[in-house]
Structure 1
Amino acid sequence: MLDIIMTVSLIILIFSLILFIVKKLIRSITIYQFERGVKYHHGKFKEILGPGKYTYFTSSTRLEIFDMRPAILQLNGQELLTSDNISVKISLAVKYQILDPQALISHYQDYQEHLYMNIQFKLREVISSIEMDELLANRKKINETVRNLLVEDNSLIGFSIQSVDVKDIMLSAELKKVYSEVIKAKKEALSLLEKARGETATLRSLANTAKMLENNPELAKLRLIQTIEASQGNTFIIDLK
């Protein structure tokens, strides 16, 4: 009886070992509609695989799966200096899409890291060439400039840059206070300017009216009659001399 138990246990152990080895040597993978697979056989590029289920020997074949949908790479809190030596933190989002997955494997050890570093360099290049006021006023221009630099970079192979968006510009507490005071002063100056313009327009209107009355005395009488007709409950004393 003991011999039978040991024999069964040995068979189960051998079967489990064989199953383990098979799982290690043979692997199945499913590639979805939005993905592509890059197949290498004995170290050589074989083909690009479309959607479907595939089984392969791991000892001789390598499969890398890439998501072909647009993706977002975010750079958070990049501390940079403007051309007028003001420190600022910028958060940036870059939308990109893989075009050639085989090129990514051939050219990069880590394509995302390569893209991340390139975006950092391009953003630093753009920010260091402008002053703080231009940075705050022309966010859209910064987006376009950084994107154009990335598109023109010949070292970026296998994917396209679709958009660049500056998400946030963070200033120090001191700078925030200074810019708040500047904005407040500008608003007050605009308010005073509008008030002065209104007063100037009123004075100009009164001057034109006075000139018209001087040249046409009868207009003053007509205006007086209109005032009397429009008035109710008031007493008017008119000197006819």
Structure 2
Amino acid sequence: MSVLIIILGVLIFFLLIGAALGVRVVQQYELGIVFRFGRLLTESVRSPGLTLIVPVVDRLQKVNMQTIAMGVPSQDGITQDNVTVQVNAVVYFRVIDPSKAIVNVQNYVYAVSQVAQTSLRSVIGKAEMQELLSERDKINAALRQIIEEMTEGPWGVRIERVEIKDVSLPEGMKRSMARQAEAERERRARIITADGEYQASKRLAAAAHELSKDPASLQLRLLQTVTDVAAEKNSTLIMPLPVELLRFFDKMAPGGVAEPTAATSEPIEEPPALEAAIEGLPKVEEAPAVDRTLEEPVRPLDRE
């Protein structure tokens, strides 16, 4: 009797150990798949919570169903317009079929990383540099589509999002782009300045037309300009004399300006003091004329 009790106790002990080994806990962010003697039980995907398996016979494999953010290392590539760039990206993916993710691929995280790198090089070769810089949404969509075609069906991994992080350009290309941007800004500045001058000239022409209707307006404008100039504390201020002011004084003169008359033919009388001074001067006698007929010609010297 005692031997039977010992045997029953041993059996109960092993049953308790087996039951403890057969109890598994699946977390909320996981799903479990069961392998029985190495064969996948496709109909028995274990949901989160407490689950039981047959010890020694079954093996429970847990699969993380969370979204995984994986960085893609920088990839060197040549764009369609022959520019060498370095591009890195981030891939967001998650498992939607745990059976395929475990059975069809050995390490789905590493596999997705390699597919993302090769796809990134392929997209770089098909795009132009300007598209990589300004049309990243288009590049991200194309890259996501390429990766998803290779991972979702065979491996049960869905690519939720792909983002290009950084595009590194050569230093020479950066300088060229900086010069191009500077030239574009200068062109826009010149266009804006020219447009402003054109509009200002039209306004000035209209203002001059209105001021020409009334001369007094021109004088008021001149006074306003003088006031603005005087506010600058200049040491010297030169003002032109308006022509209208001269005309005003010409009209207000009583007899006007007398025009010069023609010179008369009457001789001008010399003053009496000048005549007396002339009479008091001694008279100068004329020198006698020289008779040149008596002069003998000059003879040359005789040379012996």
Is the pair's TM-score, using the shorter chain for normalization, greater than 0.5?
yes
Partner residue, 1:8: none
Distance 2:87 2:150 in 1: 25
Greater Rg by CA: 2
Q: Which amino acid aligns with 2:179?
A: E
Q: How big is the shift at 1:80?
A: 1.5
Please tell me whether residue 186 in structure 1 is matched to residue 184 in structure 2.
yes
1:54-203 residue pairs with structure 2 within 5 A? 54=51, 59-151=56-148, 153=149, 155-157=151-153, 158-203=156-201
State the Cα deviation string for residues 175-224 of structure 1 (Å, max 9, x = none): 3333233323333333333222222222232233334555xx14x75686
Q: Which amino acid aligns with 2:186?
A: E
Match of 2:207 among 203, 206, 209: 209
Q: How big is the shift at 1:56?
A: 5.0
Identity %: 25
Distance 1:127 1:174 in 2: 19
Distance 2:167 2:99 in 1: 37
Partner residue, 2:34: 39
Q: Secondary structure at the match of 2:152?
A: coil
Go from structure 1 to structure 2 and tell me whether the alpha carbon gap of 1:206 and 1:165 turns closer, same or farther (over 3 Å shift): same
State the Cα deviation string for residues 44-70 of structure 1 (Å, max 9, x = none): 222211222456567533322222122
State the Cα deviation string for residues 24-83 of structure 1 (Å, max 9, x = none): xx5865321111112111122222112224565675333222221222121021111101
Aligned residues: 214
Q: How big is the shift at 1:155?
A: 4.9
Distance 1:210 1:58 in 2: 105
Task: Specify every segment of 5 or more residues in structure 2 that has no aligned partner in the other structure, as ranges.
Answer: 1-16, 232-238, 248-304
TM-score under structure 1 normalisation? 0.72
Partner residue, 1:15: none
Q: How big is the shift at 1:173?
A: 2.8
Q: Which amino acid aligns with 2:188?
A: L
Distance 2:147 2:36 in 1: 33
Distance 1:203 1:83 in 2: 48
TM-score under structure 2 normalisation? 0.58
Q: Choose between structure 1 and 2: higher strand proportion.
A: 1
Distance 2:89 2:104 in 1: 25
Go from structure 1 to structure 2 and tell me whether the alpha carbon gap of 1:154 and 1:167 turns closer, same or farther (over 3 Å shift): closer
Distance 2:144 2:218 in 1: 67
Q: Secondary structure at the match of 2:82?
A: coil
Q: Which amino acid aligns with 1:32?
A: Q
- Contact persistence 2:37–2:58 (CA under 8 A): yes
Query: Which is worse superposed, 82-91 or 117-126?
Result: 117-126
Coordinate RMSD, CA, aligned: 3.4
Q: Secondary structure at the match of 1:128?
A: helix
1:2-21 residue pairs with structure 2 within 5 A? none
